């Protein structure tokens, strides 16, 4: 176990050394990962009431999110439009991730289909 701990310490130290030489100055979170967290929040919320399918999402990165930063994820329902052909409601969303300082780090728009069942 000690050898594994030492290897992890060496890897973490190496990561921090490399990160310090980048424009960000320290390790940042993956944009793919942070985007997935925001999209998963919409899916987990709407799927509690029935079926939910993501139709489209648009993402804009505004600034880096640091790996050790506490973030806040938000979605706002902008419009709900019944759709007879799809047997459900199309929900238009606006989302964001705010950094620990409260500044927007990621902006998003999305449309999901919410139905009684898939």
User: Does residue 8 fall inside a structural domain?
Assistant: no
Per the structure, how many domains does the chain have?
1
- What are the pLDDT digits (tens) for 24-57? 888 889 999 999 999 999 999 999 988 999 999 9
Structural domain boundaries enclosing 79: 28-115
> For position 42, which CATH number holds?
3.10.129.10
Backbone angles phi, psi at 90, to 5 degrees: -95, 120
Please classify residue 106 by burial: count the beta carbons closer than 10 Å to its beta carbon, then call 0-12 exposed, 13-18 middle and 19+ buried: buried
Residue 20: the pLDDT is 79
Residue 8: the pLDDT is 47
pTM of the complete model: 0.81
Low-confidence spans in the chain with pLDDT less than 70: 1-15
C-alpha 18/C-alpha 24 separation (Å) is: 11
Task: Give the 3-state secondary structure of residue 95.
Answer: strand
Give the max Cα distance, the chain. Answer: 62
User: Does residue 63 fall inside a structural domain?
Assistant: yes
Residue 1: the pLDDT is 54
As beta bridge partners, residue 79 has 92
User: Does residue 35 fall inside a structural domain?
Assistant: yes
**64: Cβ–Cβ under 8 A, 6 or more apart, which residues?**
24, 28, 29, 105
Residue 73 and residue 38 in contact, taking contact as beta carbons nearer than 8 Å: yes
User: Does residue 9 fall inside a structural domain?
Assistant: no
Residue 66: the pLDDT is 92
């Amino acid at each position: 176990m000690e050898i594994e701990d030492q290897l992890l310490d060496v890897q973490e130290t190496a990561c921090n050394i490399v990160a310090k030489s980048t424009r960000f100055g320290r390790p940042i979170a993956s944009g793919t990962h942070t985007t997935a967290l925001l999209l998963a929040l919409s899916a987990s919320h709407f799927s509690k009431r029935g079926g939910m399918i993501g139709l489209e999402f648009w993402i804009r990165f505004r600034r880096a999110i640091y790996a050790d930063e506490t973030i806040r994820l938000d979605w706002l329902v902008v419009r709900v439009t019944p759709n007879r052909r799809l047997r459900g409601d199309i929900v238009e969303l606006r989302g964001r991730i705010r950094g620990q300082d409260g500044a927007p780090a990621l902006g998003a728009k999305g449309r999901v289909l919410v139905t009684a069942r898939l």
